[in-house]
Structure formats: structure tokens, C-alpha cells
């Protein structure tokens, strides 16, 4: 079946440091890929997505590129802020560009803490 | 923006009792809602897809008689954990979207502890 593997956390960085959170996946079809973020005390929010190979999703300074050859979708940000402290989830949906993004397969989540 | 409200945020119950968790879409109608479960330090796992006006679709391995889902209106889905046991203790989270292809909105989750 489908699966998503994220780098284990927690990740602790100083403000303005470079962030990478690795994510790889296995899927039987051609999935859409997502990063969700969960701030303390809140629900998950969609951060960015990509629906086909070589697509780059970006939002709030975060980026991730859909790499089909390496089955990866690593999250990066050039300069993190304290306000980026949250839990980040990589996820995939098998129905690429398709009928529904509701059936998501999630990675285990990576806790990011950014210190001033 | 669209908001999904989940209630309660935390609940503690005794073994053998039932617990109901509500998921409401506050400013949009959702014909489909999704229920996820998250164990500590593990992924969110889809439990079931809740369809307004029809039976829920359960994922493999999820007991439909234990996790009762009712989606009686376009803005409300409920998950009832029946005859709860300590192994049902977990974080339950719902999500919904306004239509297919639109982003999912997640509730804040419910922390269930069964003693």
C-alpha cells in the first residue's frame, strides 16, 4: 500500500537558519503530494501541494519539489522564523489531480522548534 | 475562510462507556467529511469517509460497529466510539472540503482518554 516516510524529529533550529524536512513516499499510482502544518492548538492547514512530477509547491517561503525519480517531496525554507514552530506533515493522495483529496496518507509528522 | 469545528477537544471516559465527537463545517456545506486517528508519534490514519445522507465508508481494519459515524446534515458529522476501551485512547481528527479538488480543512482534533 501507499506510505509516506518523514525524517524523524524533533528539529530544533535558530532563527534564520535553513530548514529541510525530508519526505519520501511509495505509491502504486501517480499521487498528488502535500505538506500540511499544525500550529500549537490548531488544526492542520494545507501549506503547499504538487500534483505532477517536477511541480514545485510554494507558500510562505516554504518550497517542495515533486521528484518522481527519487519519490521525494522534501520541504525547504531558506530562513526560518520563530513563528514557523509547528508540526509538519507530508502526505499523499493517490487520486492525482483527480476526484478527491480526502483520502490522504500521512507521514508521522516532524516537530519543528525555532529559537530566537 | 472555511473553518471546521470539532468538539470536544478533550474527553476522558470510563471503559465501557460511549463517547460522541462532533465535526461541524461552520461556513460551508460538506457532503463528505473524513475521520482520522493519530496514535502518539505516528501518522494520521484515515478511519472512514462520512457521506451526508448515506452510510460511511470504512477503511480496512476499522470496526464499523465500534466507530459509528452519522452524517445527518451538510454541516455535521459525528463519530461515536462505542463501548470504549483503553486501546481506543487516541487523537481523533476530522476534515472536510467544500467540493472535490478544493483544499481540506481540518478540525483541531479530540484527545480521547479511556480509563
Per-residue pLDDT in tens (0 to 9) along chain A, 116 residues: 789 999 888 999 999 999 999 999 999 888 889 999 988 877 788 899 998 899 999 999 999 999 999 999 999 999 999 999 999 999 998 764 444 456 788 998 999 999 99
Stretch B20-37: mean pLDDT: 92
Name the residue of chain B whose CA is nearest to A51's CA.
Answer: B101
- Rounded CA-CA distance B107/B115 in Å is 24
A58-86 b/e (C-beta count within 10 Å ≥ 16 → b): eeeebbbbbbeeebbbbbebeebeeebbb
Cα of B115 to nearest chain A Cα, Å: 24
Q: Supply the pLDDT for residue A99.
A: 42
CB distance B42–A102 less than 8 Å?
no
Q: With contacts defined as CB-CB under 8 Å, which chain B residues touch A103?
A: 34, 46, 49
Stretch B70-81: mean pLDDT: 92
The residues near A56 (Cβ < 8 Å, ≥ 6 apart) are: A50, A63, A64, A65, A66
Cα of A7 to nearest chain B Cα, Å: 12
Q: Supply the pLDDT for residue A98.
A: 41
Amino acid at each position: 500500500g501507499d506510505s509516506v516516510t518523514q525524517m524523524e524529529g524533533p528539529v530544533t533550529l535558530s532563527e534564520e537558519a535553513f530548514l529541510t524536512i525530508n519526505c519520501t513516499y511509495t505509491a502504486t499510482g501517480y499521487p498528488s503530494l502535500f505538506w500540511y502544518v499544525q500550529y500549537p492548538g490548531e488544526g492542520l492547514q494545507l501549506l503547499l501541494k504538487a500534483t505532477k512530477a517536477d511541480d514545485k509547491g510554494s507558500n510562505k517561503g516554504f518550497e517542495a519539489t515533486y521528484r518522481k525519480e527519487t519519490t521525494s517531496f522534501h520541504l525547504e525554507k531558506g530562513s526560518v522564523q520563530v513563528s514557523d514552530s509547528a508540526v509538519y506533515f507530508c502526505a499523499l493522495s493517490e487520486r492525482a489531480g483527480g476526484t478527491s483529496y480526502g483520502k490522504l496518507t500521512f507521514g508521522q509528522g516532524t516537530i519543528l522548534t525555532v529559537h530566537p | 475562510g472555511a473553518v471546521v469545528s470539532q468538539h470536544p477537544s478533550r474527553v476522558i471516559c470510563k471503559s465501557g462507556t460511549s463517547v460522541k465527537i462532533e465535526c461541524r463545517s461552520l461556513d460551508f456545506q460538506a457532503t463528505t467529511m473524513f475521520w482520522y486517528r493519530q496514535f502518539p508519534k505516528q501518522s494520521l490514519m484515515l478511519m472512514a469517509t462520512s457521506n451526508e445522507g448515506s452510510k460511511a465508508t470504512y477503511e480496512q481494519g476499522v470496526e464499523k460497529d465500534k466507530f459509528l459515524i452519522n452524517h445527518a446534515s451538510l454541516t455535521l458529522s459525528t463519530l461515536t466510539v462505542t463501548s470504549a476501551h483503553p486501546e481506543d485512547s487516541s487523537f481523533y481528527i476530522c476534515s472536510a472540503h467544500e467540493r472535490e479538488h478544493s483544499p481540506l480543512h481540518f478540525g483541531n482534533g479530540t484527545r480521547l482518554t479511556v480509563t
